[in-house]
Amino acid sequence: MQERPILSVKNLSTHFKMVEGVVKAVQDATFDLYRDEVLGIVGETGSGKSVTVKAIAGMIDNPGFIAGGEVLFLTDEFSKSGEKEYIDLAKLPKESFSRIRGKHIGMIFQDPMTSLDPMYTIGNQMIETIVHHKGVTVEEARERAVKLLEQVGIPKPSERINDYPFQLSGGQRQRVVIAIALSCDPDILIADEPSTALDVTVQAQILELMKDLQEQFNSSMMFITHDMAVIAEIATKITVMYGSYQMEMGQSKDIFEHPMNPYTYALLECIPRLDVKQDRLLPIPGQPPVMLNPPDLCPFLPRCSRASEKCYKDLPQLEQTGDSHFVRCWNPIAGKVKLVKEAQG
Amino acid sequence: MKLLEVKNLKKYFPIKQGFLVERVVGFVKAVDDVSFSVDRGKTIGIVGESGCGKTTIGKSIIRLHEVTDGEMLIDEEDTTFYFMKRKRALQYLKSKYFKDQDFDGDGSGLETYKKKIHDVFVKSDRNPSKTLNTLFENLEEKKRLLRRKAQIVFQDPMSSLNPRMTVGQMLAEPLLFHKMAEKMDDAIAMVKDLLVKVGLKAYHVDRYPHQFSGGQRQRIAVARAISVNPDLIVLDEPTSALDVSVQAQIVNLFEELQKQLNAGYVFISHNLALVRFICQEVSVMYLGRIVEQGDSESIFAAPLHPYTKALLAAAPVPDPNKKRNRKDLIGGQVPSPINRPSGCFFNPRCKYRMDICTREYPPMFKVDQKHFVACHLYSTSQEQGGEK
């Protein structure tokens, strides 16, 4: 790709200072996000996927802090000449963030009931956002809000706009949250487990909607989930996180067809699949790592089947192995690997 | 011999309204006319979206709820009335065995019900109430036995384990209660064996739940369930609070334990892939009723009910090359269980809706030896299943 990435994260680390010690939630996160790309961040509980995007959106509060790295975001918001330039979000003061968040970065969270205010109608909440960021009149904002609700598939939007969140179902609430996130034509849409709290049939609706809207609005998206199946569905590029580190990053196909990191491979082996009949799941032995004062070694080491002596000495770096395929491992799996799916019968 | 037989199970929750004086204004029909059975060593799955009544079934089986109607037989023994108040239990037994009029009547149907009593209770006794009373003999012991036979593992181990008890105390309690161990020391020794059996270490016996990770906690919950050698274990979303890498460990543990105990499992889940992996038989539920029932392979390979098709089409598959079958996807959401649609509950969302669907709830049609579906689409070509 020739164009400049819209977001370029370099060696981003986020730590939390606790009484017991320092929790290193995210270490050394590095990735680029281009226009039209959907970057999927997948990982287990506590792997640091949510903290990564929260750090990008300036939502890390005490006792957390950004311990290092850069978050370069391409925008014309602060430029005097009107040209787009990179600003470092990691160093941006908290007050200035309100000019970025909601306007250039839209966010969708897991539970729509907690991201919507139960005391205000959904119309109120949408109009507030639009007026604040776009500087239009309330009437214009209302018109736009109705149009947005229609786009996200809410029936009779001009009536439903006066509803309170509790009058909507879970799926509809999530649609409203998506509408608010899109209300100011953001450059990046960050979705943090947007479909996890929903039922499967509704989840499918929301995922289809997000795919359609992403194409329509021509924005980039960062999609966080713990579900490998959901990520396969929506992401063009995937980064796999484990124990605060990015273990592997690459195009969606590469990750699923030839995973190079033993963790990614093991993860794909242990998920039950709907499309194939399996005789046995191959679990990963051991427990997920504890994030308090971890050693500077590969976090997967205690559970890894390919561990060698070198693994116990140094932490591997995220290295490029192929065309846009990065892996953090001393003993990556080489060549194409046969996964369960090919044993289909 | 069937381990568990559930017949026409109903559980309605009353909706009460009013200040000071409460009136029942309606019912949430959480489970409505559900029948299924479980064999020893087999796993049956119950799948459905939230609010379809799958957890209510699980809780009814182990009697955390008193059921509204229906029968539950464990090892062919009627256990339905065990936890009812005596008056209600008598009512239930009378209505089951004597059909209203001939019991309290003037004696016209006396001969028939005497015969019935004889058939049912073998013992011939002049006084039917006395015969009924024999069913209540040793009820405490029977209850205890039932509690031992049927166990449950809940979704969230953090809320199902007592945070103020050590693992040893928690696991010793059922052993002492069911007299499987005489003294605390014996019980603790048994607990240590149990812990090893579920993949933990014997020295974990003195720890508290908060000292474990999520997967380990679920292992403790499993150890508690299997400690009393149950025949039936209800698994209510046992892995949905766990990470996938740990989920596989727990699932494999269930399979191993099933071989050892020869227990029957009722596996309740919304995760279709997991159900396909673990269950031999599956029941798909929608709004409190079973819409499709059959052996796992035929349901997943050839789903019949439009709702099952939609569920399978909606479930994401971990393969970027596989595109979702958009044709079977459905819009809308599950209607309220208080105010259910007329006719087939699924008809407002169904693509194949016919006139009859808005008028009548379809009965279970038998399409195959082991495959039943409640949908009018299969009424013409197929013979009706009858009693299921």
Q: Which amino acid is at B112?
A: T
Interface of A with B in 44-103 (CB under 8 A): 44-45
Provide CB contacts within 8 A for A143, sequence distance 6+.
none
Q: Residue B333 and residue A285: Cβ atoms within 8 Å?
A: no
Per DSSP bridges, beta strands B371-373 and A319-322 are unpaired
- Read off the pLDDT of each residue in A307-325 and give the average, rounded to a whole number: 90
Q: What integer is the mean pLDDT of A195-210?
A: 88
The arithmetic mean of pLDDT across residues A122-128, rounded, is 94
Distance between CA B234 and CA B229 in Å, rounded?
Answer: 13
The pLDDT of residue B123 is: 47
DSSP class of residue B361? P
Helices (H) and strands (E) in chain B — how many of each? 15, 12
Tell me whether A281 touches chain B (CB under 8 Å). Answer: yes
Query: What pLDDT, on the 0 to 100 scale, is given for residue A343?
Result: 42
Contact present, A146 and A138 (Cβ < 8 Å): no
Q: Which of residues 43-72 of B touch A (CB under 8 A)?
A: 49-50
* pLDDT at residue B120, as a whole number: 59
CB contact under 8 A, A229 and B276: no
Asked if B284 and B293 count as a contact pair (C-beta separation under 8 A), the reply is yes
pLDDT for residue B370: 87
Q: Please, which pLDDT band fits residue A200 given cuts at 50, 70 and 90?
A: confident
SS3 call for B126 = coil
Residue A141 corresponds to which amino acid?
A
Using CA atoms, how far apart are residues B225 and B218, in angstroms rounded to an integer? 11
| Cβ(A324)–Cβ(A250) below 8 Å | yes
Paired tokens of B281: 């038989």
Output the pLDDT for position A37. 92
Bond from prior residue into B348 cis (ω within 30 degrees of 0): no
Flag residues of chain B having pLDDT under 70: 97-132, 380-388
**Strand, coil or helix: A285:** coil
Q: What burial letters (b/e) apply to A162-182, b meaning 16+ CB within 10 Å?
A: eeebeebbbbbbbbbbbbbbb
How many residues belong to chain B? Answer: 388
Residues 6 or more apart in contact with residue A106 via CB below 8 angstroms: A180, A181, A182, A183, A184, A186, A188, A189, A190, A219
Asked if the Cβ–Cβ distance from B317 to A277 is below 8 Å, we say no
pLDDT of the residue at B8: 92
Burial of B68 (0-12, 13-18, 19+ CB in 10 A): middle
Contact A278 B277 (CB under 8 A): yes
Nearest CA of chain A to the CA of B259: how many Å?
14
Neighboring chain A residues of B249 at a CB cutoff of 8 Å:
283-285
Positive or negative, the CA dihedral A279, A285, A286, A288 is negative
**What is the end-to-end Cα distance of chain A in Å, rounded?**
39
Across the interface, do A275 and B319 touch by the CB < 8 Å criterion?
Answer: yes
Token pair of B114, please? 């005497």
Q: Which pLDDT value is given to residue A195?
A: 87
Cβ–Cβ gap A232/B277 under 8 Å: no
What is the spatial distance between Cα B126 and Cα B121, in angstroms, rounded to a whole number? 12
- Is 80 exceeded by the pLDDT of residue A88? yes
On the question of pLDDT at A268 being above 50, the answer is yes
By DSSP bridging, strand A319-322 and strand A245-251 are unpaired
**Distance between CA atoms of residues A207 and A223, nearest Å:** 11
CB B33 within 8 A of CB A183: no
**Residue-level pLDDT at A329:** 93
pLDDT mean over A248-254: 93
pLDDT value of position B132: 67
Residue B290 neighbours by CB under 8 Å, 6+ apart: B34, B35, B36, B283, B284, B364, B374
